Amino acid sequence: MTRSKTLATWLALVGGTLGAHRLYLRGPRDTWAWLHAVPTLFGAYGAWRMRLLGQDDRLGSLLVLLLGLMLAGTMLLAIIYGLTPDEKWDARWNAGAPSRPSGWAAILGVIAALMLGATALMATIAFAGQRLFEFLAA
């Protein structure tokens, strides 16, 4: 079975925080793919707590950082997947069976991942800095 670089890029973009890209590339026996959901769900729980209890909720503030880091990390993987040369991709994931050349769909996925990942990373750093300064000021 050949693995598409474009599909891996878009899976990392859309479902990367839940490990969809790893399940596609490595199969259902990949432990790390299943573990992607744990920090993502904790981060989503933190966002829900902050929405329900307000921004003064310390546990929610800590947990929501996990969501931002997971999102930024999987967007980085989408960028790496999309920018990997086709020959190198085939040598790594399609040994002996070259895939179709990737086109603009992979590049559009990289652009979307760059925008989303940069936004998530900047927001996570800003939020963590804000919480640190509030903690030191109290």
Summarised one tens digit per residue, pLDDT across range 19-74 is 999 999 999 999 999 999 999 999 999 999 999 998 889 999 999 999 999 999 99
Mean pLDDT of 117-126: 97
Check pLDDT > 90 for residue 1: no
| pLDDT tens, position by position, 60-77 | 999 999 999 999 999 999
Check pLDDT > 80 for residue 96: no
Residue 42's contacts (CB-CB under 8 Å, 6 or more residues apart) are: 63, 66, 67
Domain boundaries, given as residue ranges, for the chain:
5-137
CA-to-CA dists, residue 23 to 8, 28, 36, angstroms: 10, 5, 11
- Name the token pair of 38: 């744990």
- DSSP assignment letter at 16: G
Give residue 30's pLDDT: 94
Mean pLDDT of 103-121: 96
Give residue 88's pLDDT: 93
- Name the token pair of 8: 């891996």
In three-state form (DSSP H/G/I as H, E/B as E, the rest C), the secondary structure along the chain is CCCCHHHHHHHHHHHHHHCHHHHHHHCCCCHHHHHCHHHHHHHHHHHHHHHHHCCCCHHHHHHHHHHHHHHHHHHHHHHHHHHCCHHHHHHHHCCCCCCCCCCHHHHHHHHHHHHHHHHHHHHHHHHHHHHHHHHHHC
Q: Could you tell me how many residues make up the chain?
A: 138
Give residue 32's pLDDT: 93
Mean pLDDT (the chain) is: 94
Q: How confident is the model at residue 95 (pLDDT cuts 50, 70, 90)?
A: confident
